[in-house]
């Protein structure tokens, strides 16, 4: 119930006389309409009583039956009404009727003053309101989360608010400029970003450190708190909102990857376009195109060093930007790309873009072939039908199998099994390249606490340990980096 409807409930419907039931009775609130519990306490014949209130009006109450001696005319001198543990009225009352079984009930008239029914309705509205949730969260956070941590969250909030005020003011000025605006805007955003962003990033790094010792309960509370205070100021940018809202049902879909590496975002307000610049400059976001380039480099190496027809398999291929880039400029050589993804729409997108890139490179003729397999990792690991087995057979003997943006979601036991499975599918002398992100202090905290995008970060040591079970023993096993050094790659060569 809203504040307005709580108040309206108390108003007379009209002033034209009733169609029936002409006897006026003051408006009554039934306890079943309330989400909290309302109790009447009083002393009767020297004994304290607590009784559930069935309904209440400005002049009286209905109570669940109490003492049989509580007969009409009995006076209750210290009557108190309590809603949800808070005393909301106290005074005197008198029993005016008592009804026995089956619906036992005692009627009380308030004799020392009226009860403000609207206040009860307002208390009930407040109990379920956003404000109550905020108050409760604030108090719980104050009790369980370090002051320094909450202060840093407040600092991020203030920085974002300052940016929004600045750009809202600039928006008005820029709108006077007409088409000149398009030339001025990038400089305006850059100037503000360069002085603002170092502070913003350094607070994220501090929050990352301050959150390190949190236990499970603190992490849950801290995530609610940080999301509530910061996400409303971030959600105008599509990269923040898609990461947070996960419209595909999981984080990191192919559209999110395109937002990390695609063209500039031109829609929305000036502040929202500024936020997109902020997002694109998070270190881990810059890793997305950097790791695509790293994968593209290995595709080029394998294409250049392998004789005959080559098979290159991309697992969790997403938009397959690295294949598009490679095909656009490659020298003619027979090569087959096999794309595997659980998302059919991602496959359709990648297939179209790679085909367009092939057509744009007229030297290629029909040397390049693209095949898309709509498969999940689960199906890859446990093929339960002959059709699945046949599809997976199409991957075997690959000269290169590579993947990024997948193992960061897999716990160690699954990651290790998948690594072994993919290694089995690589042909002799072939290469397996699999990326996994490392913790990145200026970005990881935002993903964990505000965007609800938890990832399994790994270290060189943990990756070496997971790969130690590969059989036959690899010819070479290295842990390499992308250009930002935030994505680690298992780079494994199978013996020839």
Per-residue binding string, ligand SAM, 135-174, x by CB under 6 A, is ----------------------------------------
Nearer to ligand SAM by Cβ, of 286 and 291: the residue is: 291
Nearer to ligand SAM by Cβ, of 81 and 463: the residue is: 463
Per-residue binding string, ligand SAM, 397-416, x by CB under 6 A, is -------xxx----------
Three-state DSSP string of the chain: CCHHHHHHCCCCCCCCCCCCCCCCCCCEEEHHHCCCCEEEEEEECCEEEEEEEEEEECCEEEEECCCCCCCCCCEEEEEEEEECCEEEEEEEEEEEEEECCCCCEEEEEECCCCCCHHHHHHHHHHHCCHHHHHHHHHHHHHHHCCHHHHHHHHHHHHHHHHHHHHHHHHHHHHHCCCCHHHHHHHHHHHHHHHHHHHHHHHHHHHHHHHCCCCCHHHHHHHHHHHHHHHHHHHCCCHHHHHHHHCCCCCCCCHHHHHHHHCCCCCCCCHHHHHHHHHHHCCHHHHHHHHHHHHHHHHHHHHHHHCCCCEEEEEECCCCCHHHHHHHHHCCCCCEEEEEEECCHHHHHHHHHHHHHHHHCCHHHCCCEEEEEEECCHHHHHCCCCHHHHHHHHCCCCEEEEEECCCHHHCCHHHHHHHHHHHHHHEEEEEEEEEEEECCCCCCHHHHHHCCCCCCCCCCHHHHHHHHCCCCCCCCEEEEEECCCCCEEEEEEECCC
**93 touches ligand SAM (CB under 6 A):** no
Shortest distance, position 258 Cβ to ligand SAM, whole Å? 9
Nearer to ligand SAM by Cβ, of 206 and 343: the residue is: 343
Q: How far apart are CA 337 and CA 371, in angstroms?
A: 6
Shortest distance, position 453 Cβ to ligand SAM, whole Å? 10
Q: Give 61's strand partners.
A: 56, 108
Nearer to ligand SAM by Cβ, of 145 and 320: the residue is: 320
Nearer to ligand SAM by Cβ, of 166 and 353: the residue is: 353
Shortest distance, position 444 Cβ to ligand SAM, whole Å? 16
Shortest distance, position 482 Cβ to ligand SAM, whole Å? 10
Shortest distance, position 300 Cβ to ligand SAM, whole Å? 17
Positions in 228-287 near ligand SAM (CB under 6 A): 252-254, 257
Shortest distance, position 321 Cβ to ligand SAM, whole Å? 6
Positions in 436-495 near ligand SAM (CB under 6 A): none
Shortest distance, position 381 Cβ to ligand SAM, whole Å? 10
Nearer to ligand SAM by Cβ, of 31 and 403: the residue is: 403
Nearer to ligand SAM by Cβ, of 62 and 405: the residue is: 405
**94 touches ligand SAM (CB under 6 A):** no
Shortest distance, position 403 Cβ to ligand SAM, whole Å? 6
Q: How many chain residues bind ligand SAM (CB under 6 A)?
A: 20
Positions in 306-365 near ligand SAM (CB under 6 A): 316-319, 321, 341-343, 346
Shortest distance, position 291 Cβ to ligand SAM, whole Å? 6
Shortest distance, position 324 Cβ to ligand SAM, whole Å? 11
Contact 19, 46 (CB under 8 A): no
Per-residue binding string, ligand SAM, 188-227, x by CB under 6 A, is ----------------------------------------
Nearer to ligand SAM by Cβ, of 54 and 422: the residue is: 422
Residues forming contacts to ligand SAM in the complex (CB under 6 A) are 252-254, 257, 291-292, 316-319, 321, 341-343, 346, 376-377, 404-406
């Amino acid at each position: 119930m809203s504040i307005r409807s709580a108040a309206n409930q108390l108003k007379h419907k009209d002033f034209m006389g009733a169609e029936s039931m002409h006897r006026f009775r003051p408006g009554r609130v039934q306890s079943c309409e309330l989400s909290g519990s309302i109790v009447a306490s009083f002393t009767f014949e020297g004994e304290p009583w607590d009784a559930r209130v069935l309904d209440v009006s400005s002049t009286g109450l209905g109570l669940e039956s109490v003492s049989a001696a509580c007969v009409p005319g009995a006076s209750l001198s210290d009557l108190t009404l309590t809603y949800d543990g808070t005393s909301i009225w106290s005074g005197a009352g008198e029993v005016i009727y008592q009804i026995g079984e089956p619906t036992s009930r005692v009627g009380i008239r308030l004799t020392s003053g009226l009860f403000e029914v609207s206040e009860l309705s307002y208390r009930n509205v407040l109990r379920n309101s956003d404000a109550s949730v905020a108050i409760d969260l604030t108090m719980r956070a104050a009790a369980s989360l370090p002051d320094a941590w909450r202060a840093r969250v407040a600092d991020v909030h203030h920085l974002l608010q300052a940016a929004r005020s600045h750009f809202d003011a600039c928006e008005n000025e820029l709108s006077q400029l007409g088409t000149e605006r398009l030339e001025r805007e990038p400089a305006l955003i850059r100037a503000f970003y360069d002085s603002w962003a170092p502070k913003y990033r350094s607070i994220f790094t501090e929050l990352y450190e301050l959150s390190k010792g949190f236990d499970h309960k603190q992490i849950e509370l801290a995530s609610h708190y940080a999301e509530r205070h910061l996400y409303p100021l971030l959600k105008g940018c599509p990269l923040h909102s898609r990461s947070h809202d996960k419209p595909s049902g999981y984080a990191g879909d192919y559209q999110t990857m395109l937002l990390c590496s695609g063209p500039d975002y031109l829609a929305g307000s000036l502040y929202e376009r500024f936020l997109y610049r902020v997002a694109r400059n998070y270190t881990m976001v810059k890793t997305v195109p950097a790791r695509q380039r790293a994968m593209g480099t290995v595709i080029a190496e394998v294409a250049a060093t392998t004789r005959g027809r080559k098979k290159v398999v991309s697992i969790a291929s997403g938009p397959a930007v690295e294949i598009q880039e490679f095909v656009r400029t490659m020298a003619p050589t027979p090569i087959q790309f096999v794309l595997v993804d659980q998302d059919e729409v991602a496959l359709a997108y990648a297939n179209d873009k790679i085909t367009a890139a092939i057509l744009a490179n007229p030297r290629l003729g029909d040397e390049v072939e693209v095949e898309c397999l709509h498969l999940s990792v689960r199906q890859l690991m446990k093929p339960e039908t002959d059709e699945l087995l046949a599809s997976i057979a199409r991957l075997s003997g690959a000269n290169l199998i590579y993947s990024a943006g997948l193992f960061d979601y897999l716990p160690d036991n699954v990651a290790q099994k998948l690594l072994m499975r993919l290694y089995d599918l690589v042909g002799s002398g072939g290469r397996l390249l699999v990326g996994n992100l490392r913790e990145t202090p200026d970005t990881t905290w935002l993903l964990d606490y505000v965007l609800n995008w938890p990832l399994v970060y790994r270290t060189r040591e943990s990756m070496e340990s997971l790969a130690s079970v590969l059989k036959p023993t690899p010819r070479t096993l290295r842990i390499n980096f992308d250009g930002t050094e935030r994505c680690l790659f298992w780079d494994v060569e199978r013996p020839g």
